[in-house]
Amino acid sequence: MTNQGKNAIDMVLAESLKELAVTRPIDKITIKEITDKAGVIRPTFYNHFQDKYELLEWIVENELIDPAIPLLDNGMMREGLTLILTTMDRERGFYIKASRLEGQNSFPEILKKYMTRTILRYFDIDRMKADGMLGYSWATPEMIADIYAQSVVYIIVGWARDGMVIPIAELVEMYLAIVNRTAYDFVRETV
C-alpha cells in the first residue's frame, strides 16, 4: 500500500477513535468499534497499528507534534506551543478524555515521549559539552530534555484534565515564564 493510502486509512482510524473517545473512556473502546465506525474491517486496522495505543501515538505525533515542528525549527516556541494547545482545544472532548488515560500507553506518557524527542532534536550536544553544560556525568542531553518535556506535559495534561478553562495565550505565557526563570527568581520577585 502506498504512503498516501496508508495515511488516509490512518486518518480515518484516528477520527474514529477520537469520535468514540468523546463518549467513552479510551481503555474501554474496542478495535471492532473503531473499525466499525471507520467503515473498515479489523485486519485493515492491524495492517496499520498494533493496538489502539499505537493509534493514539500516531495521533499525538501527526496531529500535535509534527505540525509544530516548522515553528519550533524557526525558534518560535510560543507559536509552536500555541498550535499544539489550539489543536487540542479544537477537539477538546477527545483530549480531555485522553488526558485522563492512566498507566502504560497513557496520553501523558505518549506526549512526554514525543516532547522529549522534539526537545532533544534542538540540542547542540557538542556545544553543550564545550560550554561545560554537561560537566556532570548524570547530566545527559536525554535527561535534560526529559525534564523540560515533563514540565510541558505537566502543564498541558493538567490544563486538559481541568477542562481547558485557562485561555491558551495565558497558559503559554505562564509556561514560558516558568521555563525562563529559576525558582529562586520567582521567590525573589514575590518578596
84-93 burial, b if ≥16 CB within 10 A, otherwise e? bbeebeebee
Q: Is residue 89 part of a domain?
A: yes
Structural domain total, the chain: 1
Is 26 within the bounds of a domain? no
- For residue 81, is it within any domain? yes
Asked whether residue 35 is domain-assigned, the answer is: no
CB 60 within 8 A of CB 47: no
Residue type, 98: A
Q: What is the CATH number of the domain that holds 136?
A: 1.10.357.10
* Residue-level length of the chain: 191
Please give the Cα distance from 39 to 151 (Å, whole number).
39
Asked whether residue 67 is assigned to any structural domain, the reply reads: yes
| Among 2, 109, 1, 121, residue whose Cα is nearest residue 56 | 109
In a domain, 110, yes or no: yes
Vertex 155, ends 178 and 123: CA angle to 5°?
Answer: 65
| Domain coverage including residue 100 | 51-190
For residue 96, is it within any domain? yes
* Contacts of 99 by beta carbon, 8 Å cutoff, 6+ apart: 107, 108, 156, 157, 160, 161
In this structure, is residue 9 part of a structural domain? Answer: no
Look up cell 477537539; give the residue. Answer: 91
pTM, two decimal places: 0.87
Q: Tell me the pLDDT of the chain (191 aa) as tens digits.
A: 334 445 899 999 999 999 999 999 999 999 999 999 999 999 999 999 999 999 999 999 999 999 999 999 998 999 999 999 999 999 999 999 999 998 888 999 999 999 999 998 877 666 666 666 666 667 777 888 899 999 999 999 999 999 999 999 999 999 999 888 877 887 787 76
